[in-house]
Amino acid sequence: MDLDYWWLLLIPVVFGLGWMAARFDVKHLLSESANLPRSYFRGLNFLLNEQPDQAIDAFIEVVKLDPETTELHFALGSLFRRRGETERAIRVHQNLLNRSDLPSVEREHAMFELGLDFLKAGLLDRAEDTFKSLDEGAFAIDAQRCLLTIYEIEKDWAKAIETAEALEKISAQSFRKEVAQFHCERAQEALQKQDSAQSVAELRLAREANPANVRATILAGDAEMATANPAGAIDHWRKVETQSAAHLPLIVERLMKAYSALGRDAEGAHLLMQYLDKYPSNDLLDTSYTYIAQQIGTEAAHQLVRGQMQKAPNLAGMSRLLEAQVATAEEPRRGELELMRNLMRQRTKNLPRYTCQSCGFRARLFYWQCPGCSGWETYAPRRVEPMASGG
C-alpha cells in the first residue's frame, strides 16, 4: 500500500508556529513585567515570606503609582479586612466604586467586597443594603448567603426563612434543614411569649420543611406541657426514639417531669431502663441514673452503671459508679468511697463536652446551632471526654 508522505512536511511548520507563539508570549510577559512597579514585586515577596505589614505598605505604594490596578485594590482591601482594619478596607472598595470607568463585573465585585467589609465591621444595616443591591449577576448567590448570615445574627427568622427559600431557587443547594430550624426558633420564641397556637403552627411548618427534625418533636412536647397536657407531651417525646435514639438523653428530664405530673414516676423510670437496655450510652445513663435510683432502687442503678462501665469505661461513668457504691457501702468503707467520689467529681465536672462535627468547637451545653461556626445540627448529641495529651 502506498504511503502519503506529504503530511510530514506539516511537522516543521507546526513546530515553527509553536516556537513563534511561545516567543510572543514570553516577550509579552516580559514587557508587562517591565511595566509593573518594583513595589509590586516587593509586596509579593513580603507575602511569600508571611510579612503582611510590609506587603501592605508595598501595595499601597503601587496603588498610588498606578491607580488603575483594580485587582491590586481587591487584594489590598482583602488584606485590610483580614487584619481587622475594616475602615481602610471600606475606603479601598469605595474608591473603586467611585471610578466611572469601572466595568460592570468589577463594580459588582467591589460592591460585594464592600458588603463583606460592612459585615466584618458589624455595620449590619449597611451590609444588608449592599448585598440586597446584588440581586442579579455573578455575586447574587454569595450575596444571598451573606444576607442569610446577617438575618441569623439579628435573629430575624422570618427574613432568614425567606432568604433561604430564595437561595434554594437560585442555587443547587437544599436549605430544608436550616428552614426547619428557623421555624423552630420562631416556635421557641412563641413559647416564651406563651403563644401556644403560634408555636404549634411554626412546628408544623418545621416538620413540613424537614420531617426528620428532632428539635421540632421536642418542642412539640414543650408546647403540650405549656398547656398543662403532660400526657400529650409524653406522646411527642417518645417519638424521639424512632427519630434519633442518640437524642434521648436530651429528653430524660422532660419525660420524668411529665410522668411526675401524672403521678407515674415509677413508669417513667422503667421506660428509662428500657431505653438503656436498647440504646446503652454514657449520656443516657448519666441523665437517667438519679431517677432510676430514686424510683427503682440504688441496687438497680448500681447494676446499670457497672454493666455500662464494663462495656465502655470512662471517667464520667466511674464517677457514677462510685456514687452508686457510696449509697450501698457501710462504714468505714463508705468514707473512703466518698473521698474517691468527691475527687472524681472535681476531676470530671468539666470533662465531657459536646463537640461540633464541623469546626470542633467544644461546649458543656448542647446547641442546635454551633456558637463557633454557626452551623445548624452540627453537634452530635453525645458528649465525649478529651483525649489526654502526651507529654
**Residue 369 three-state SS:** strand
Buried b (16+ CB within 10 A) or exposed e, 305-330: beebbeeeebebbbbbbbbbbbeeee
Q: Do 158 and 186 contact (CB within 8 A), yes or no?
A: yes
Residue 378 to residue 369: CA distance in whole angstroms: 7
DSSP code string of 52-76: HHHHHHHHHHHHHH-TT-HHHHHHH
Amino acid code (one letter) for 382:
R
What does R_g of the chain's alpha carbons equal in angstroms?
32
Answer left, alpha or beta for residue 354, where phi above 0 means left and psi between -120 and 50 means alpha.
Answer: beta
370 labelled as ligand-binding? yes
Residue 251 to residue 239: CA distance in whole angstroms: 11
146 labelled as ligand-binding? no
Residue 112 to residue 131: CA distance in whole angstroms: 7
Residue 298 to residue 323: CA distance in whole angstroms: 10
Q: CA end-to-end span of the chain, whole Å?
A: 79
184 labelled as ligand-binding? no
Between strands 354-355 and 362-363, the pairing is antiparallel
Residue 29 to residue 7: CA distance in whole angstroms: 34
356 labelled as ligand-binding? yes
Q: How far is C-alpha 351 from the geometric centre of its chain's CA atoms?
A: 22
H or E, element range at 362: strand 362-363
Binding region for Fe cation: 356, 359, 370, 373
Binding region: 356, 359, 370, 373
